[in-house]
Amino acid sequence: MFLKRLILAAGLAVALASPVSAQVIGGEVDMDVDRDGDLTIFAGEVDVRGRIGGELRAIGGDMNVDAQIGGDANLAGGDIRVRGSVGGDLSVAGGDLDIETVVSGTADLAGGVVHVNAPVAGRVSAAGGFIELDRDFSGSDGVDLVAEQIVIRGSVTGDADLSGDEITIEGTINGDVDTYADYVRIAPGATISGELRHRGPNEPDVGAGATITGGVDYTNAVYIDEFDFDGVDLDLDFAPPGPVIGAFFVGFYFLFFLLASALMPNGVTRMVGEFRARPVVAPLIGFVTWAFWPIILVVGIILLAITIVGALLIPFWILVVFFVLSLSYPFGAAAIGDLVFNRKGTGLGLGMRLLTTLGVLVLAAALWVVPFLGVVGWCVLTWIGLGAWLFALGKREPVVTQPAA
């Protein structure tokens, strides 16, 4: 009964740590969706269709999104294709980006190839190798573009700030244009309803029939093929959601403990027994050792460096110190789990020990809903595990001698 309550409490705590949203984690996500709230996806490949009333956040490999999104869309991955509509801001980072979605807010894009062929109400900020604003593109609040090659075939309302090796304007820009490039071409039929201010080693190539109402202001300058992104306002926010981070660390520490249990089952049993015997002293010793671990690390390095053979062992010593500190945390979880569930002190089986340790790790991760409590929980478990482990290392198994025949 207590175990059921523990697992239920852990589940509720993790749920409370999450925003009100659906979260999907998997290798390949292919789904039709119709929901009013937010949607968060963490997967290898993503294919989403339908309607999302809130915000869409997705991190993965290749993505294909064809949806009506009521809020913001934040995407990070490999090749990304977006269709439909976005009611808020659009932020995308990846390899090849194909943006054919109507965006009601701003668009922040970063990729190797950036292709945009749909209206964007807010300002467009993009950086990449090749950027193309195609014929169906219309920007209502100007653009900031940095790339090796830039091609504008659509229309822009507002100023345009462009930097790249080669810039081609074939469409319409209703505003001033600032360019810093090796080569600028204004195609026949292109229109700039403002001034073209160009800095570079070559004068802009203005084709016959092109219209520049504000004239051309050319400044001869050496073009340096090193992009300055200071003028590009890329606001890309792709931090994984808290529950995803928590699940990762719970899984990491649990697998670490699983490996330790398989390699030294008797050592783990002695460790939890030492904490049961010294529930106050063990954490205290762990705290003192943990507080002085930088000194212990440095002293060990100095002593090893005295000899040639010892110097070769310095990387191994550093690895051992960090291994001990990392394993102390799940050891502390195992000690607490044993104290709670092993009331009689008769010892737990491997399966029950793994289950109780996992439950404590989940509860400790849920404490990060309040960061202060999360830090306290991490410290306490680490001190418990480290102190109990040190006592277990110093304990010698009694030697049983057989009477002489």
Using pLDDT thresholds of 50, 70 and 90, give the confidence band for residue 25.
Answer: low
C-alpha span between 123 and 233 (Å, rounded)? 9
For the segment 105-132, what is each residue's pLDDT rounded down to a tens digit?
999 999 899 999 999 999 999 998 999 9
C-alpha span between 329 and 385 (Å, rounded)? 6
For the segment 136-169, what is each residue's pLDDT rounded down to a tens digit?
999 999 999 999 999 999 999 999 999 999 999 9
Using pLDDT thresholds of 50, 70 and 90, give the confidence band for residue 239.
Answer: low
Residue bearing the bigger pLDDT, 269 or 175: 175
Provide the pLDDT for residue 395.
Answer: 64
For the segment 129-140, what is each residue's pLDDT rounded down to a tens digit?
999 999 999 999
First vs last C-alpha separation in the chain = 52
C-alpha span between 152 and 162 (Å, rounded)? 10
Is residue 236 scored above 60 in pLDDT?
no
Q: What angle do CA 82, 58, 126 make, to 5 degrees?
A: 55
Span of 271-280, 368-377, 395-404 with lowest mean pLDDT? 395-404
Provide the pLDDT for residue 401.
Answer: 44
Using pLDDT thresholds of 50, 70 and 90, give the confidence band for residue 99.
Answer: very high
Tell me if 377 sits within 8 A of 362, measured CB to CB: no
- DSSP letters for 211-259: EETT-EEEEE----SS--GGG-------PPPHHHHHHHHHHHHHHHHHH
Helices (H), 22-112: none
Using pLDDT thresholds of 50, 70 and 90, give the confidence band for residue 66.
Answer: very high
C-alpha span between 120 and 204 (Å, rounded)? 28
Provide the pLDDT for residue 21.
Answer: 53
Provide the pLDDT for residue 13.
Answer: 41
Using pLDDT thresholds of 50, 70 and 90, give the confidence band for residue 309.
Answer: confident
C-alpha span between 220 and 201 (Å, rounded)? 5
Distances (CA, A) of 352 to 260, 269, 357, 382: 15, 13, 8, 21
Provide the pLDDT for residue 188.
Answer: 94
User: Which sign, positive or negative, has the C-alpha torsion 302, 308, 311, 316?
Assistant: negative
Using pLDDT thresholds of 50, 70 and 90, give the confidence band for residue 396.
Answer: low
